[in-house]
Amino acid sequence: MSLLELAGVTAGYGAFTALWDVALRVERGEAVAVVGPNGAGKTTLLRVISGVLAPRGGTLTFDGAALAGRPAYEVVAHGIAHVPEGRRLFPTLTVADNLKMGAYLATARAHYPESLERVYGMFPVLAERRGQRAGSLSGGEQQMLAIGRALMSRPRLILLDEPSMGLAPVMVLRLFDLIRRVREEGYTILVVEQNVRQVLKLVDRAYLLEVGRVKMDGRAAEMAEQDFVRKAYVGL
């Protein structure tokens, strides 16, 4: 059984339907990407998985539990951590307090000191800046903090929404290295990215989403080879 399995998921806002009959699965230990153009429904997909947006129909199973329509604060307790689009840090709280909030769940609170040590070990710059306001960090540091905050809940699946958005090209490469390290720590990752070329090097499998529908899916290496994908998204 897959760790995460979506079947027939339809979702939208008001009269607008952003996702049509989406099926997707993520196995334990896997890294999976969802790529596609702007407005394809990638962010909506992650919002549905993490419970920010209730789907109109379909099933969403995580580790055997049916989570479709459950509120976000319940979904995270099942082990899904969502690093949202635009990072959504608490800007006037310190770096340390942002990480503390990542461990808000009762189960995470019990392991707070060791989780903190682990995150500081992975992102030493966060330890250096622990007393600084989150809003005063650079874009790359803010993205590290957002990922670190998600790790504090001791998740089994991490959802990353456009982690490279708004970062300088040099920082984008460093960020992908960091995500690779998070992966090597044994976390399962579902990542949404515009930066198709980079992300396909990082993940095992990928889904191509277009106007709310899954257009194609397969091994990342094979996807990168496809003429259609290369022309449209990789820019080669």
Residues that bind another protein (CB under 8 A): 50, 52, 71-73, 76-77, 81-82, 84, 88-93, 97, 100-105, 108-109, 149, 153
Measured from the CB atom, the residue of 49 and 200 that comes closer to another protein is 49
- Minimum Å distance from CB 201 to another protein? 28
Token reading at 66: 């049916």
Measured from the CB atom, the residue of 42 and 149 that comes closer to another protein is 149
- Minimum Å distance from CB 75 to another protein? 9
- Minimum Å distance from CB 162 to another protein? 15
Measured from the CB atom, the residue of 50 and 195 that comes closer to another protein is 50
- Minimum Å distance from CB 136 to another protein? 13
Measured from the CB atom, the residue of 73 and 228 that comes closer to another protein is 73
